[in-house]
Amino acid sequence: MNRRTAIRRLATFFLTTASLAQAQQPGKMFRIGFLDPSDASSSAVLLKAFWEEIRRLGWVEGKNMSVEYRFAEEKMDRLPELAADLVRRKVDVIVCASTSAALGTKGATTTIPIVMTNSSDPVGTGLVASLARPGGNVTGMSGLSVDLNTKRLEVLKDAVPKLARVGLLRMRSAVGVAEERQLKELRPAAAALKLKLEEIKTNLDPKSLESAFQSAKQKQVGGIMTFARPLFAERKRIVEFAVKYRLPAIYFQKEFVDEGGLMSYGIDSADNLRRAAVFVDKILKGAKPADLPVEQAMRFEFIISLKAAKQIGHTIPYELLARANRVIK
């Protein structure tokens, strides 16, 4: 064996040994924080899409990442406290399921990356400087809730041609920044459509919800809307009361229709969550939130249930049925 060959083989040996040693060393265990104003059970259906995408991108809980969940369970004032707890635990990224959650988290940290799964108005609420150049430590998905509320109102009027009064279910607790902006747009939109908007405050317990629907009937409301916010965890209960009081209703998530609701018009939430997972993947691989433009929802769904219409004795105009992405018979 000549000297040159010996050196080459020795170098190959050391390179191979170093590669094997590196492969055998356990990699960093990243920690993902998840902050949701709702509760675990009501978020489970939507989160399925997020975690499916995370796994597809190569992240496996217990192998290269772990998750710290925090649920406010409808108590909005707990969000800053829960966000601060995630910050103290030094997670690598915090995923926020609402505008309020993102605002609470931004108030708790300016360094840990924050990924929004569905912010109604990230620029207007001050979460980012602009969609193209977020700046700071926040990025993710925008859900266009402010604009879509107006569209839902239009669809509800088309579904109920003689509609004059619309009941808007609102949480009795203090209204956050995102909800204020939604109201600011919704009130003049109702006036332009010559509709009287009846704002009905409620809690999510059965007694409060039924009282809210009774109030709607007393006010001669001809249709119901819910705020585009994830606090309405009791989808099934809301739908049941809408059926009981025979009130046509339009919802912001298709999951309400899955529970027996009449109509939904909104973003494809599962698609938004899959895209949010891509943001998390990029950040864990070294990208900075400030360099990742905020994405706006691109997929929308308009779903009508004829079965639900039959239950409340309502006929959906054919012209509206023709516009739906999906009609459930």
For residue 57, pLDDT over 80 is answered with: yes
Q: Residue 245 pLDDT > 90, yes or no?
A: yes
Q: How confident is the model at residue 176 (pLDDT cuts 50, 70, 90)?
A: low
Cα separation, 290 vs 253, in Å, equals: 30
Helix (H, G, I), strand (E, B) or coil at 80: helix
All domains of the chain in start order, with CATH:
30-143+268-299 (3.40.50.2300), 145-267+301-328 (3.40.50.2300)
Label residue 211 exposed, middle or buried (CB < 10 Å: 0-12, 13-18, 19+): middle
Residue 175: its pLDDT value, please? 56
Q: Which helix (H) or strand (E) holds 300?
A: strand 300-305
Does position 6 have pLDDT exceeding 80, yes or no?
no
- pLDDT of the residue at 289: 97
- Report the percentage of the chain scoring pLDDT > 70: 88
- pLDDT at residue number 178: 63
Residue 291 has pLDDT above 80, yes or no: yes
Amino acid at 189: A
pLDDT for residue 315? 96
CA angle (52 as vertex; 104, 34 as ends), nearest 5:
15
Average pLDDT value for the chain? 87
Q: What is the pLDDT of residues 274-284, one digit of tens each?
A: 999 999 999 99
pLDDT band at 12 (very low <50, low <70, confident <90, very high): very low
Confidence of residue 46 (pLDDT cuts 50, 70, 90): confident
d(CA 199, CA 225): 10
Question: What is the average pLDDT across 61-80?
Answer: 91
Separation CA 58–CA 224 (nearest Å): 43
The whole-number pLDDT of residue 229 equals 59
pLDDT in tens, 298-307: 888 999 999 9
- Residue-wise pLDDT tens digits, 95-153: 999 888 999 999 999 999 999 998 878 998 899 999 999 999 999 999 776 678 889 99
- Tens-digit pLDDT profile for residues 16-42: 333 333 333 357 899 999 999 888 877
Instruction: Supply the pLDDT for residue 227.
Output: 76
pLDDT of residue 13: 39
Amino acid 305: pLDDT: 97
- pLDDT at residue number 92: 98
